[in-house]
Amino acid sequence: MASRCSSSTIASAGAPRVLFVTLGCAKNEVDTDRMRARLLRAGFSAAEDAPDADVAIVNTCSFLASATQESVEVTLELAEASSEGVRSRPIVMCGCVPSRYGDDLPSELPEVSAFVRAEDEDGIVGVVSSVLGLEDVIVAPQDEGVLRTVEGASAFVKISEGCDRFCTFCAIPYIRGRYRSRAAEDVVGEVRSLMEGGVREVVLIGQDTGVWGRDLEGDQTLAGLLRRVARAVRPYGGWIRVLYLQPEGMTDELIATIRDVDEVLPYIDIPIQHCSARVLSSMGRSGSPEELRALFARLRKEIPGMVLRTTGMAGFPGETDEEAAELYDFIQEEEFDYTSVFSYSQEEGTRAAAMGDQVDEGVKLERTQRLVDLTEQLGFSATSSHVGERVRVIVDGVEEGADGPELIGHAWFQAPDSDGAVHLAAGEAAVGDVVEVDLVDSFCYELIGELAGGEA
């Protein structure tokens, strides 16, 4: 049980202000949100800008070398601004970079006051108190309610940590550890609390969501979890979206649940990475083009109107021109609604980094750009196909457009922060509302809509 001490130091100091900087994926956004909730509950306040902060927390990404570099650069920019007198503040580096390189970081980054590995982030209150020289602080007990500070109508909810796949190109298992399912009761409790707070869409995420429950007692599956979450969101008219389903995770039970449970959106995200059986095997993955074609054909047959997202990688070690063309033709044939394309990155500590036949950088970039051009063509066409529809849209924010302020939201077929947006003229709707919208035009991955009147 966490200790409870006096909060007089914080009160007399006027609530130290914490700046939160989050880099990387939605899973990091959730981790930052939980750290923010712990600190706010302990009496700290959030700073909007660096000059106003007493301490900065940088939640880092280390999935790719470029992400690690960005994390270090952002941290050093904060340190440089502090040294130039903008405001002297300690910096706490959290997340994937400390988890991956923790032992080497204190000597490499003396500008940072403390390093917190991902698995130690629940102790953030004590770390921040220490770097600020505070002696007394309230540490919220672990069981003191749901730790979230979500604003708006969409929220990511993590259902697992880590990964057991050990794909040869990926460092995630070494950074985040082995796969650990989160208890169903905790997931459902968080979802229910978020719905009570005004959230209308929960996005269930994890490194490999399809295998949720296999490490828990009893016969627990993702499909069963979805049905429980659906009962929690049903009174609020809520949506459930699931991201990062591997092909092997698409069981009969899960397909039927996505098809039959109204609250679960028919939006399926299956990162294939490649289609060549030889390349997939070299990646430490299973499958073949025939198996993938059969899976996608089945999904389209059993879930009419489904939206399909995937991920493709160009330039994996040993990939031949013929195999690159095979992936291109496969994506063109399947006509995915959304496709993320990555150029292979030779990540330190992974098995693929030591493989021979590393593809020349120029060739990788050429293959990547060719895939990007194709997937944009397919994605733009899929987006424009929704023009003329009336859909429910969650209003996410307000931006300054060419003709003044406009509302930015997303429809059921657009994952937040990933797939483009719906643009609306500023009117009676507010951030967090769910409204009926007539889609009247499109550009690239964006849609233009008009309020159909009233909240959905």
Annotated binding-site members for [4Fe-4S] cluster: 25, 61, 96, 163, 167, 170
**Pairing status of strand 422-425 against strand 404-411:** antiparallel
| C-beta separation of 185 from 166 below 8 A | no
Residue 443's φ and ψ, nearest 5 degrees, are -150, 125
Around Cβ 73, how many Cβ atoms within 10 Å?
10
Instruction: Could you list the residues known to form a binding site, using ranges.
Output: 25, 61, 96, 163, 167, 170
Could you give the CA distance from residue 70 to residue 211 in angstroms, rounded to a whole number?
Answer: 31
b/e code 335-371 from CB counts within 10 Å (16+ = b):
ebbbbebbbbbbbeebbbbeeeebbeeeebeebbebb
Measured between its terminal Cα atoms, the distance across the chain in Å is: 44
Q: Which two tokens stand for residue 305?
A: 């109107």
Comparing CA positions, the residue from 154, 234, 240, 241 lying closest to residue 199 is: 154
Largest CA distance in the chain: 68
Structure tokens at 283: 């990646």
What does the chain come to in residues? 456
The token duo for 115 is: 């390093």
